[in-house]
A and B are shown apart, each in its own frame.
Chain A
């Protein structure tokens, strides 16, 4: 009996997760207003940073071996991962505004499946964006020094960043239950990403931004990602420890947001 109950719960969880994910991905792929910004923004940032700032590679002390395009690719990859999660949060908020989320709540046997479904949708969205970004970067002549395993590590980090941002945004969306919570999802994410060594390595930063970047967890993720793409892995253990801990932490935040939404009816 217990085994049957467990199997039933798992099936219910999977069914709701797949249904929520399918609807979110379907909305994403069929609505140009959602799809185009998600694809265009990372490409645009990549083009702007890698193209417009390529002279930064000539700054004394800049010693990244694979050129400025690869250096910036890692940042834009992680940024697109984070914003893929944030945009999923916007979708959750919209579902609450339109009343669709309430219908999910009523229909779901296991409401954790709703969260899992949104997280799955965020991942699918991110993979679509990364495919476009990676293609453009390679066409632009990005030099990749890392092996397949290194690149697996790079995209693995990006996936964990995507989950972190999705859980953060889901927590905010389920508390605010309105698209007006958008800035609360977006701004902290933006802040954490840009208070890191975005344009030059940490060693070249000075003053207050060096002090902040030194304690910003995004720095370890960026350094590890840049190590992977250059084939010289660095701070891997620290980066993965952070990248695994953050989604776990923020899934608790999202879960408590779900409880608030349940309580609010």
Chain B
């Protein structure tokens, strides 16, 4: 990265991080809502662990993977809504008058998502372990969980940027939340794939990449080190990130032409 690009990314990253940290309305729901659902689901579904073949006797441990995904969904909205606001207020138009590079803009804007991802992952992990969840992979596993969580958060944030650049509307970005929630619910979120009885649901969950992201977290929490599951999880996150960034870059070019 040359000096100019580094300066551009740095300035925008600083703005993105500060903007995220100064908006409790972005941070608090992203922390509280997933933890609330974790508490409710781990209490209500503890009996599911008595099903033959359930991988652990603690539903809390099994369910602890889910907040990391829900937190990533919030990053779609947060990153996207911030950029949409820049578009709506004309800030992006002003940036377009500067020699700023597209790559710098997108990378800088995702800095807020990185910080939020770190805060979220650490909080979920600490709260989960304090509440009694197990971590089979130990301290190194915790670091990998945080790394995977941040990668997924940034990848989903890139999709939020794409949505914002494509629509230019914060409301439209907010409207994406239910769509992503559908992906989460139609996955192995509540039960392992092989214990889902409805064939059609199991087929959808098997084809749903979210199931494999959840599985990557779960191997570290329940089994220890399963390199295949981890590679699949990081691989899917990387693909989402690359696709999201490419789509966002293309949408940025179109938007700058329009302006």
User: What is A's interface to B at a CB cutoff of 8 Å?
Assistant: 33, 37, 40-41, 44-45, 47-48, 51-56, 58-62, 183, 191, 194-195, 197-200, 204-210
Contacts and interface: CB of A to CB of B under 8 A. Distances in A.
A93 to B, nearest CB: 15
Nearest to B205: A52
Interface in B85-143: none
A207 B196 contact: no
B74 to A, nearest CB: 14
Contacts of A198: 40, 44
Chain A residues touching B, majority SS: helix
Given A37-B178, A40-B178, A52 B189 contact: yes
B34 to A, nearest CB: 13
A205 B51 contact: no
Contacts of A206: 43, 46
B45 A199 contact: yes
Contacts of A44: 178, 182, 185
Contacts of B259: none
Most buried by A among B29, B36, B44, B48: B44
Given A199-B45, A205-B43, A209-B44, A48 B186 contact: yes
Contacts, number: 80
A195 B36 CA distance: 10
A160 B175 CA distance: 29
B201 A41 contact: no
Contact of A205 (B29, B36, B44, B48): B44
Chain B residues touching A, majority SS: helix
Given A41-B178, A197-B44, A198-B44, 4 more contacts: A52-B196, A53-B45, A56-B47, A194-B40
A55 B178 contact: no
B186 A52 contact: yes
B43 A207 contact: yes
Contacts of A40: 178
Given A52-B191, A55-B191, A200-B45, A60 B50 contact: yes
B23 interface: no
Given A51-B198, A194-B40, A195-B40, A56 B50 contact: no
B195 interface: yes
B45 A52 contact: no
Interface in B169-198: 175, 178, 182, 185-186, 189-191, 195-198
Interface of B: 29, 36-37, 39-41, 43-48, 50-51, 175, 178, 182, 185-186, 189-191, 195-198, 200-201, 205
Given A52-B189, A55-B196, A209 B43 contact: yes
Nearest to A57: B197
B58 to A, nearest CB: 12
A186 B45 CA distance: 23
Contacts of B198: 51-52, 54
Given A37-B178, A209-B40, A61 B47 contact: yes
A54 B185 CA distance: 14
Most buried by B among A33, A51, A54: A51
B50 to A, nearest CB: 6
Nearest to B178: A37
B195 A55 contact: yes
A59 B175 contact: no
Nearest to A194: B40
B190 A52 contact: yes
A198 B45 CA distance: 9
A59 B197 contact: no
Closest 4 A/B residue pairs (Cβ): A209-B43, A51-B201, A48-B185, A199-B44
Contacts of A51: 198, 200-201
Contacts of B201: 47, 51-52, 54
A40 B43 CA distance: 27
A45 B191 CA distance: 15
B172 to A, nearest CB: 10
B185 A58 contact: no
A48 B185 CA distance: 6
B105 to A, nearest CB: 29
B47 A200 contact: yes
A61 B46 CA distance: 13
